[in-house]
Amino acid sequence: MPAYVVIDIEVTDAVKYEEFKKQAPVSVAKYGGRLLTAAGKTEPLEGGWDSKGMTLLEFPTAGRAREWYASDEYRPAKDLRQQIANARAVLVAGAQCRVDRGSRRRAR
């Protein structure tokens, strides 16, 4: 089942962040992940969530996402990101959904 890594990020050094953006995707791909959006602008819909930007990654499983985050391949990029940005990250387990009558979705 797919899993998602959601990173709330505020970049503090835009020049060095360009280097991070070159490094990180290589490690994500090695673990079967893909980038869905990077540092995308956000629009709060509820709760006054103030985010400077969101990054969303998809992995085939939560296990692969954890392996990626702890990997030697990602470590240099992660170390750089921690120097040039303020970030929070969460792992979200995916759910398979099917569409029922009236286009209502139900998680299985």
**C-alpha span between 67 and 45 (Å, rounded):** 32
3-state secondary structure of 22: helix
Q: What is the pLDDT of residues 82-92, one digit of tens each?
A: 999 999 999 99
Ordered domains of the chain (ranges, CATH): 3-107 (3.30.70.100)
Query: How high is the pLDDT of residue 31?
Result: 98
| Cα angle 93-94-95, degrees, rounded to a multiple of 5 | 125
Q: What is the pLDDT of residues 3-59, one digit of tens each?
A: 999 999 999 999 999 999 999 999 999 999 999 998 777 888 888 888 888 999 999
Q: Which residues make beta-bridge pairs with 56?
A: 6, 37
Comparing 106 with 70, which gets the higher pLDDT?
70
Tokens of 95: 């759910």
